[in-house]
Amino acid sequence: MLIKIFNKILNMRYNSPPSLKNTVPFLLFFILSISSFAQNIPWSRQMADSFIARHKDSILVGKNTVTRWDYEQGLMLKAIEKVWYRTGEGKYYEYIRNDINQYVKEDGSIRSYKFDEFNIDNIPTGRALLTLYQQTQPDKEKYKKAADLLWKQLEEQPRTKEGGYWHKKRYPNQMWLDGLFMGEPFAAEYSALFNHPEHFDDIAKQFALIEKYAVDPKTGLIYHAYDEAREQKWADKKTGTSPNFWGRAIGWYAVALVDVLDYFPENHPKRADLIKYLQRLAPVLAKYQDKQSGVWYQVMDQGARKGNYFESSASCMFVYALAKASRLGYIPATYTANAKRGYEGILKNFIEKEADGSISLNKTVSVGGLGGTPYRDGSYDYYLSEPIRKNDLKGVGPFIFASVEMEIAAENAVGKDKKVALDYYFNHEFRKGANGKDEPFHYTWEDRMHSGFWLWGNTFRDLGAQTVSIPSAPTAENLKGMNVYIIVDPDTKKETANPNFIQPNDIAAIEKWVKAGGVLMLMANDTANCEIPHFNQLAKVFGIEFTSRNRNMVQGLQFEQGRLDIPANDKSIFKTASKIYIKELSPLALTGPAKSGLTDHGDIIFGISKYGKGTVFAVGDPWLYNEYLDGRRIDTSFENFEAGKDLAEWLLKQVVK
């Protein structure tokens, strides 16, 4: 709650009339003085809020003087998206949507975008289009049409003889490291979302060509670019490579690798190659990390040379890539220490706190390119000649990326080596997906619309756990290795033609699993939308019963009718949340080992049962789905997102290994 108050005051500082602005520093001082509050605001959020305050209505790119469809815009929107996923604050989503809506028209055309330039730098903002398209909102088809346009560009993008994308039409036969970040994460997500499995071979090829032609065999570093035709002045006549190792270029490549893997199919034969490229690159990054400061130089292998300097954007990119790759097991966990040391160096060397409470990032090189007019020769002197800027978006965005990863690293031990399974058998509804095929939805991990559990699943993943689904009836075999098992809203005949009702064999398997130490969560729904009778047969084994009564009946937008308060003197489960929203829920009746986890006006809202070595948690509503976590629907005074994280952490801590 304090963070929400702080943000409102910070917004006042930038948006109030002059007569009120003088009061804002005092208000900021007051709130920051309450238990050193500033130290509790994550750096990712501080930077996101500072950025939004400086770019209120639209994103200024380049020298902060123009707005256009641009890769810096796409980079920042992805950074803001990451903060949205970490906070559940709808203002971040609205910022993304409002910015994109300034460019994308109803027919999918994009203002200021020029298809025939075949500039791969125009692709990254497509990732925001895919994010918006996967949400619940009325006008989203235009985002799909705009994404299709960018996909069409990639399909027609000029290529080298071996199939590598030219960086731009006006840079023939050239592959730049930057281009891997610009094109491939979008291509991978688009391919996964719209069923283009054949394109993953092409994505892998782009990285393979860089590894083949641009990696220096002596140092392991990667040259900024190579010219297949060996025609450019900057190109080595034998290898075609540019002369030097520019930090941010290698940073773009590293970020592209870890982000593409988010969408690359687990069973694809080329996935292992991408992971090997990361494993090859990680020790190289560690070797060239400055031992004293923890950060990296502008020209990476010439740290002692006159004029070279610590550069912030590359340092942030390397921290992000190392932290994420080690968290996801692509590289050894020991590289987390390199990421941590690098991040500490970033905070010390580049972050500046401003008088108005915002923060800034210093020492980002404004640009780095090859060829063009005036001609850029790729020499050491050239890379040092480009201006250094404060709050350049090519540094601000990666700082948010890195901060989010380091914030995850600080808390993900609780879920390490634990699996959280979600039932897809008793809850078994389908819809047509974006690829035209039937897909499970409604309280599933994959569903990013308001009906899904994607955000709550992301919370579990950020806490270090693995989220999986169980699409068949529970048995000793498929529950083996599962630590938390969630059953939500079993289907009625109204929802599914042939619903799977809970049977005695299911109950026996689940009871044995809980008794051995499993953590079971039961989430019912209002009686009109949930198969209560069979669900209760399972719940009663643990002393819990979903009653036939409904409460918190919310009319329209009167969200206070769904309000529940967490007692200030009982933070055993909900450590941070105080006010939550649950509508149309079924109160519980408890017997035997079950006890109340929250009682409101005589009604038991949460039930907890310790059974053998295990734990059962029950609630009469699936209240943690995206609609009530993403900050877009209910009043911002409710803390469902925080409550979801509190509960996820509590469930993981109940696991008996």
The 3-state DSSP class for residue 552 equals: coil
User: Does pLDDT of 556 surpass 50?
Assistant: yes
Q: What's the pLDDT at 38?
A: 52
* Burial class for 122, CB neighbours closer than 10 Å (0-12, 13-18, 19+): buried
Instruction: Mark out the alpha helices in 221-268 (DSSP H runs).
Output: 247-260
Q: What's the pLDDT at 25?
A: 47
Q: What percent of the chain has pLDDT over 70?
A: 94
User: Does pLDDT of 36 surpass 70?
Assistant: no
CA distance 614 to 640: 26
Q: Please name the residues in contact with 639: beta carbons below 8 A apart, sequence gap of 6 or more.
A: 1, 576, 577, 578, 579, 580
CA distance 443 to 337: 37
Q: Please answer whether residues 258 and 264 qualify as being in contact, where contact means their C-beta atoms are separated by less than 8 angstroms.
A: no
State the catalytic residues.
Answer: 178
Instruction: For residue 18, name the pLDDT band (cuts at 50, 70, 90).
Output: very low
Q: Please name the residues in contact with 407: beta carbons below 8 A apart, sequence gap of 6 or more.
A: 42, 43, 44, 86
96: part of which helix (H) or strand (E)? helix 90-101
**pTM assigned to the model:** 0.94
User: Does pLDDT of 185 surpass 50?
Assistant: yes
Instruction: For residue 446, name the pLDDT band (cuts at 50, 70, 90).
Output: very high
Instruction: For residue 28, name the pLDDT band (cuts at 50, 70, 90).
Output: very low
Instruction: For residue 495, name the pLDDT band (cuts at 50, 70, 90).
Output: confident
Dihedral sign, Cα of residue 258, residue 462, residue 412, residue 310 = positive
Angle, in degrees to the nearest 10, between helices 71-87 and 90-101: 160
Instruction: For residue 39, name the pLDDT band (cuts at 50, 70, 90).
Output: low
Q: What's the pLDDT at 642?
A: 98
Q: What's the pLDDT at 65?
A: 82
Q: Please name the residues in contact with 330: beta carbons below 8 A apart, sequence gap of 6 or more.
A: 258, 261, 275, 278, 279
Q: Please name the residues in contact with 567: beta carbons below 8 A apart, sequence gap of 6 or more.
A: 598
CA distance 321 to 246: 16
User: Does pLDDT of 189 surpass 80?
Assistant: yes
Q: What's the pLDDT at 12?
A: 47
CB atoms within 10 A of CB 199: 18
Instruction: For residue 40, name the pLDDT band (cuts at 50, 70, 90).
Output: confident
User: Does pLDDT of 298 surpass 60?
Assistant: yes
Q: What is the pLDDT of residues 61-82, one digit of tens each?
A: 887 788 999 999 999 999 999 9
Q: What's the pLDDT at 24?
A: 47
Q: What percent of the chain has pLDDT over 90?
A: 89
3-state secondary structure 318-347: HHHHHHHHHHCCCCCCCHHHHHHHHHHHHH
Give mean pLDDT, residues 28-44. 59
Specify the domain boundaries for CATH 1.50.10.10 within the chain.
Answer: 42-409
Instruction: For residue 4, name the pLDDT band (cuts at 50, 70, 90).
Output: low
Specify the domain boundaries for CATH 3.40.50.880 within the chain.
Answer: 419-653
Q: Please answer whether residues 184 and 207 qualify as being in contact, where contact means their C-beta atoms are separated by less than 8 angstroms.
A: yes
122: part of which helix (H) or strand (E)? none
Q: What is the pLDDT of residues 319-357, one digit of tens each?
A: 999 999 999 999 999 999 999 999 999 999 999 999 999
DSSP secondary structure string, 583-627?
-SB--EEE-TTEEEEEEETTEEEEEEEEETTEEEEEESS-TTSGG
User: Does pLDDT of 27 surpass 80?
Assistant: no
Locus of tokens 């569903």: 447
Structure tokens at 103: 């460019």
User: Does pLDDT of 122 surpass 90?
Assistant: yes
Instruction: For residue 35, name the pLDDT band (cuts at 50, 70, 90).
Output: very low
For 114, phi then psi, to 5°, come to: -120, 105
Q: What's the pLDDT at 3?
A: 55
Q: What's the pLDDT at 437?
A: 87
Q: What is the pLDDT of residues 215-229, one digit of tens each?
A: 999 999 999 999 999
End-to-end CA distance of the chain: 34
DSSP secondary structure string, 418-453?
-EEEEE-SSS-EEEE-TTSSEEEESS-SS--STTS-
Q: What is the pLDDT of residues 249-285, one digit of tens each?
A: 999 999 999 999 999 999 999 999 999 999 999 999 9
Q: Please answer whether residues 66 and 383 qualify as being in contact, where contact means their C-beta atoms are separated by less than 8 angstroms.
A: no
Give mean pLDDT, residues 33-61. 83
Give mean pLDDT, residues 144-153. 98
Q: What's the pLDDT at 657?
A: 78
Would you put residue 538 in left (φ > 0), alpha (ψ -120 to 50) or beta? alpha
CA distance 523 to 531: 11
The 3-state DSSP class for residue 581 equals: strand
Q: What's the pLDDT at 529?
A: 83
User: What CA dihedral angle connects 108, 114, 120 and 122, to 10 degrees?
Assistant: -60
Give the C-alpha distances (Å, rounded to integers) separating 362 from 41, 365, 422, 637: 20, 9, 44, 35
CA distance 365 to 379: 15
For 597, phi then psi, to 5°, come to: -100, -20
User: Does pLDDT of 19 surpass 50?
Assistant: no
Instruction: For residue 175, name the pLDDT band (cuts at 50, 70, 90).
Output: very high
Q: Buried b vs exposed e over 613-638: b needs ≥16 C-beta within 10 Å? A: ebbbbbbbbbbbbbbbbbbbbbeeeb
Give the type of residue at 278. Answer: L
Q: What's the pLDDT at 435?
A: 86
Topology of the domain comprising 419-653: Rossmann fold (3.40.50)
Q: Please answer whether residues 150 and 126 qualify as being in contact, where contact means their C-beta atoms are separated by less than 8 angstroms.
A: yes
For 502, phi then psi, to 5°, come to: -65, 130
When the pLDDT of each residue in the chain is averaged and rounded to a whole number, the result is 94
β-strand pairing of 614-619 with 603-611: antiparallel
Give the C-alpha distances (Å, rounded to integers) separating 87 from 1, 45, 422, 570, 578: 12, 8, 23, 23, 16
Nearest one of 281, 279, 349 to 315, comparing CA atoms? 349
Output DSSP code: residue 561.
G
User: What CA dihedral angle connects 398, 402, 405 and 410, to 10 degrees?
Assistant: -160
User: Does pLDDT of 26 surpass 70?
Assistant: no
Give mean pLDDT, residues 569-580. 96
Looking at per-residue pLDDT, the higher value among 510 and 40 belongs to 510
Q: What is the dotted CATH code of the domain comprising 42-409? A: 1.50.10.10
